[in-house]
Structure 1
């Protein structure tokens, strides 16, 4: 055997005619086969498991995850989030915006991902005065939650910062206006 002879990775015999080069190795065409079903791989694309070739059918059956979003096999890049596997294009906000969430922070509710804006609009507590989501510290009073700036006197409209206040028609009154 001379130095210029090409050896098949599978059978260790000299390759005389057509050569397949893949995975840094050379093969007889009939020996470049799926490691699982052992059928020759004739497609232009193939998959790799443990450094060995795998045909597309075996890859889908034996190795690919199923996308939590669309329930179809994942054949390319897999996004792992919330203990699930996703296609990159399927990992999007479950809220109305449907924005991609890959590479961003997100919120989870009932096993579904949300961007910050949709999460706040859908699930955050609402202020008893302005009805907007409360995303930071809230004042809890009169069986409701309030933004700090929205908890104001019903009459003079100044924010109530004292720990005591009066109530009129279930609305707060500062001590000055309650006299």
Structure 2
């Protein structure tokens, strides 16, 4: 006499054997969604059976770019896992593997797009600032662009004067 592991009743007719136990076919179900696993495609975790969809969603890394399971090479960045081919700039979609990238609103962005679209602009040259920045006179500056409006030498000291046009003047010229 064969007994179903789930309902403890006698099995007459088709018997499903899985995980060293016997079941009525309709009683061998996914631990998560409770749907019968009748196509023999299931995965186990801690001795429990899961349909492939729920197993992948619960126990397999998901690509933050496409939402699908990751089984091959992947990259971990910005607190997420990504298929290498889906780790792209969120502005221009260029591949970022092996490239320097920035973060903007939780998403990766290439240096060029960051500099052109997101970064603070330098008061002197108008270019985006992606590295060291000087904040002075209610503006941002590249260190080399923060220069005396009279002699054009870079101002590295914390002490400087301000012209009537709100431009920096070095100690020597003030």
Q: Distance in 2 between matches of 1:89 and 1:106?
A: 15
> How has the CA–CA distance of structure 1 residues 81 and 141 changed in structure 2, closer, same or farther, with 3 Å as cutoff?
closer
- Counterpart residue number, 2:82: 86
1:28 matched to which residue of 2?
Answer: none
Question: CA distance change for structure 1 residues 172 and 102 in 2, over 3 Å: closer, same or farther?
Answer: closer
State yes or no: 1:132 paired with 2:149: no
Over 3 Å counting, the alpha-carbon distance change for 1:104 and 1:38 in structure 2 is farther
User: What is aligned with 2:95?
Assistant: 100
Q: 1:165 aligns with which of 140, 161, 164?
A: 161
The Cα offsets for residues 116-162 of structure 1, whole Å up to 9 and x where unpaired, read as: 34334333322110112233433332221222221222233233345
Task: Name 1:60's counterpart in structure 2.
Answer: 53
- Quote the offset at 1:113 in angstroms: 1.4
Could you say which residue in structure 2 is the equivalent of 1:121?
116
Structure 1 vs Structure 2 CA RMSD: 3.8
Q: Deviation at 1:110? A: 1.8
Measure, in 2, the Cα distance between the counterparts of 1:75 and 1:141.
47
Runs ≥4 in structure 1, deviation > 6 angstroms?
A: none
Whole-angstrom CA distance in 1 between matches of 2:94 and 2:76: 17
Distance in 2 of aligned mates of 1:49 and 1:117: 45
CA distances 1:7-63 after superposition (whole Å, capped 9, x unpaired)? xxx89xxxxxxxxxxxxxxxxxxxxxxx9625356xxxxx9766xxx9xxx423432
Name the CA shift for 1:101/1:48 in 2 (closer, same or farther; >3 Å). farther
Cα distance 1:103–1:49, how it changes in 2: closer, same or farther (>3 A)?
Answer: farther
* TM-score of the two chains, using structure 1 as the length reference: 0.54
1:152/1:103 Cα in 2 relative to 1: closer, same or farther (>3 Å)? closer
CA distance in 1 between counterparts of 2:127 and 2:53 reads: 47
Structure 2 vs 1, CA of residues 173 and 49 (structure 1 numbering), >3 Å: closer, same or farther? same
Count of matched residue pairs: 136
1:103 Cα deviation after fit:
5.2
